[in-house]
Amino acid sequence: MTSAKQTISPVRVVKKNGIRVEVYEDAEAVSAAAAAMIAGRITASSKFNLGLATGSTPIKTYDELVRIHEAGELTFSHVTSFNLDEYVNLPPTHDQSYRYFMMKHLLDRVDIPLYNTFVLNGQAVDVDAECSAFEGLIKARGGVDLWLLGIGGNGHIGFNEPGSAVDSRTRVVTLDDCTRADNARFFATLDDVPTHAVSAGVQTITDSHAVLLLATGAGKANAVAAAVAGDCSVDCPASLLQGHDDTTFMVDVQAAKML
Ligand code: F6R
């Protein structure tokens, strides 16, 4: 592993449709570069609002942020976090809930004040009110400075599945069959995968001052190519980032192979 101060260089940089794509040798290098960027921005600011994602892809980035924190080179004391999404009807103590994931991989391992960590409550009695409150909170805190994203094989960002409107906001969404099938690996059976989630909308994400999307592995190659080089279309929600003026993709060679 690298020191927090060491620079990881991409093997290739592609700029297309307003998106900067940094291609790294492998997933380790992507994680190191992503953590270095996030740590740098947090450190450069006296108050930082960080958007977070769950999923397999950012786990190594979170490990690296924890390592930099433990090395005494990064504090989260002035950071507020907002998570993209949460399953509907899973309690936060369920080991597949996104609150549980975030506590395990990052929030419990750094010095972020827990009262400044926001994950949507998928068990809220009034889920629509929960979604509006989340939007209101982001606004009241001054907007998200940097939103870290993964990408689904179908191009989804957050749980904004294909067809999600460019001006969508935080809301209840129905998960695509392919997304449920992708996530079934984390549950005992496919039937156990929730059918609904609450998710920040496309507009909630594109309102962020900066966006950093990570993708690793050949399974993401089509989605990355469609997002960067395809039409800006709701058919590939990640392509809607083409209209954003500070979006970086950090991907490995495998995920970049169709670019
Ligand atoms: C996670 C999320 C999803 C994932 C995407 C990729 O909070 O909103 O959009 O980022 O499904 O997941 P992984 O990284 O598991 O391939």
Q: Give the model confidence (pLDDT) of 73-126 as tens digits.
A: 999 999 999 999 999 999 999 999 999 999 999 999 999 999 999 999 999 999
Q: What is the pLDDT of residue 1?
A: 45
Q: What is the pLDDT of residue 2?
A: 46
Q: What's the pLDDT band for 182 if we cut at 50, 70, 90?
A: confident
- Reported pTM: 0.96
Q: At a CB cut-off of 8 Å and minimum separation 6, what does 197 contact?
A: 85, 86, 87, 88, 122, 159, 172, 173, 175
β partners of residue 51:
82, 147
Average pLDDT over the chain, rounded to an integer:
96
Does residue 4 carry a pLDDT above 60? no
Q: Is 161 designated active site?
A: yes
Element (H, E) at 35: helix 27-43
Q: What's the pLDDT band for 7 if we cut at 50, 70, 90?
A: confident
- Report pLDDT digits (tens) over 207-225: 999 999 999 999 999 999 9
The CB of 201 under 6 Å from ligand 1? The reply is no
Please tell me which residue, 96 or 1, carries the higher pLDDT value. Answer: 96
Structural tokens at position 16: 């297309």
Contact 249, 215 (CB under 8 A): yes
Q: What is the pLDDT of residue 179?
A: 86
Does residue 58 carry a pLDDT above 90? yes
114, with CB counted inside 10 A (0-12, 13-18, 19+), is exposed
- Report pLDDT digits (tens) over 16-51: 999 999 999 999 999 999 999 999 999 999 999 999
Q: Which of 85, 96, 156 to mutate to test the pocket of ligand 1 (most atoms within 8 A of CB)?
A: 156
Q: Which of 31, 50, 54 to mutate to test the pocket of ligand 1 (most atoms within 8 A of CB)?
A: 54
Q: Is 154 designated active site?
A: yes
